[in-house]
A = this chain, B = another copy of it.
Amino acid sequence: MNPTYKKLLARWKDISALASASGLCGWDQETMLPPRGIEARSEQESALSGVIHEKVIDPELGKMLRDLTEHPAGLTADQRACVREWVRDYEHSVKLPPELVREMARVTSLSQAAWIKARKASDFKAFAPWLEKVIALKRREADALGYKGERYDALLDTYEPEMTVAQLDPIVQQVREGLVPIVHAISRSKAKISDELLRRRYPEADQEALCKEIMTIVGLDTEAARLDRSAHPFCCGIAPTDVRITTRYDEHWLPGSLYGVIHESGHALYEQGLPAKHYGTPLAEAVSLGIHESQSRFWENVIGRSRPFVRFIFPRLKKRFPLALGRADAEAFYRSINHVMPSAIRVEADEVTYNMHVVLRYELEKGLMAGRIKVRELPALWNERMKEYLGVTPKNDAEGVLQDTHWPQGLVGYFPTYLLGNLNAAQLWNALKKDVRGAEAQVAKGELSQILGWLRKNVHCHGRRYGPAELIERATGEKPTPRYFLEYLKEKYGEIYQIDQF
């Protein structure tokens, strides 16, 4: 092994191990931490990020990276990919002035606290000064990181490497233009679909047992995973051999845990599928949020909300919940979980309307970054577009512009990855069905190993070897496109809502 590469590898393995420890601190905070421990925890996390940052920006590291970039002869293709991604991480870190990083941490911590209060009181004015501070800092951050096209590109690239507004705008436009008629057609449909079935009583302990069963059914290695409870569901990949998901239980809303756990299991399958032998290098790291979300949405929606999967799972549900489901059939359950209902709240949105929530947020945050939109204009713009896209008017700002935790946390450029995840999931499924014969029939029998195997081989095992767009193109033979997602929706919901033509 090239001696410089060997040194670099050891350093980044250390950094990666420290980042894993920091991940554990975060997981513990949401699941296990005694309430009074929060202050000490924030000191632990801040000490850890300080150490990690110091190690990443070490000029000696930068020198070694330059050496290898200029003299890559003798490096394998995998090693070159690692160097390329290390350079990306190194440059990202050195470009951000430490003073800005500290200020961002301080302001977003305070702005989150202000947001919690403001949302409770549905008082946008109380939160607006904080959002202004956050946006100003994000503009500084983008300028420090640099960009070729729009300022927003710099932030987008943080979550979705290489993605730009120039690429994303046409995609978003296609999605918006494709979705609006679908939403309208469904709202005019006479088909009677309701989610009443899912609101009956589902005892918590049985939901939990079901969730554990589901983890096994989708193919998670339970010797390398955990399921716990938290206020907001998430997946935390500490290592490919240590992946933890969480959920919450509502006795009168079965999909909260059931589809929540399938979603998080999708993330967890990706994390478990990263090659453990490369743990500590970019080859064992997720490439982007848009790819991560493609895996969760694939399992949650494409598989989990499909008719074959429901046919397979329904007899098990009936056995666990005889009181709630005793007289229902699989078809009724299938329709319930695919009930489309435009609403004001993103996290409660169905598969069809979900992306319109994302489109709205993307347009607004892009405008904020470009200076075309002022913070004070947000509530009115938000409500106008909600009306235009989904025919819904939020009751108040708590249900409108104040609903999400992303902006208060300084996560700008994050929302579009939800949309990309949905598009990628449909495009992957389309390609997978060509390679895996009788995929749907396998799903109907609960045989998911070939499907998982395809994802392992075409997505998971690469880590950050290829950028997200190249990864999709290699897996599907086509550049990323919204086409398959829109086709998927039309076919599925045309049948459910008895719509011949959109």
A: residues with CB less than 8 A from B are: 13-14, 17-18, 20-22, 24-25, 28, 32-37, 39-41, 43-44, 46-48, 50-51, 221-226, 238-244, 276, 279-280
Contacts and interface: CB of A to CB of B under 8 A. Distances in A.
B280 A37 contact: no
Given A43-B17, A280-B43, A36 B226 contact: no
Contact of A47 (B14, B32, B41, B43): B14
Nearest to A244: B34
A241 B35 CA distance: 8
A223 B34 CA distance: 6
Contacts of A41: 239, 242
Contacts of A221: 36
A244 B44 CA distance: 16
Contacts of A18: 44, 47-48, 51
Contact of A21 (B35, B37, B44): B44
Nearest to A32: B226
B280 A33 contact: no
B39 A241 contact: yes
B47 A238 contact: no
A229 to B, nearest CB: 13
27 contacts: A14-B47, A14-B50, A17-B47, A18-B51, A20-B43, A21-B21, A21-B25, A24-B28, A24-B44, A28-B28, A32-B32, A32-B226, A33-B242, A34-B224, A34-B225, A34-B241, A34-B242, A36-B223, A36-B224, A37-B242, A40-B239, A40-B240, A40-B242, A40-B276, A40-B279, A41-B242, A43-B280
Contacts of A223: 34-36
A21 B14 CA distance: 15
Interface centre among A20, A21, A32, A280 (most CB of B within 10 A): A21
Contacts of A13: 43, 47
Contact of A24 (B17, B24, B276, B279): B24
A221 B46 CA distance: 26
A271 B24 CA distance: 22
A40 B21 CA distance: 10
Contacts of A25: 21, 24
Nearest to A15: B47
A226 B47 contact: no
A225 B34 CA distance: 6
A94 to B, nearest CB: 20
A244 B34 CA distance: 9
Interface centre among A24, A47, A223, A243 (most CB of B within 10 A): A47
A242 B43 CA distance: 13
A107 B46 CA distance: 33
9 nearest A-B residue pairs (beta carbon): A37-B242, A40-B239, A17-B47, A36-B224, A36-B241, A21-B44, A17-B43, A17-B44, A14-B47
Contact of A36 (B34, B44, B48, B242): B242
A31 to B, nearest CB: 9
Contacts of A43: 13, 17, 20, 279-280
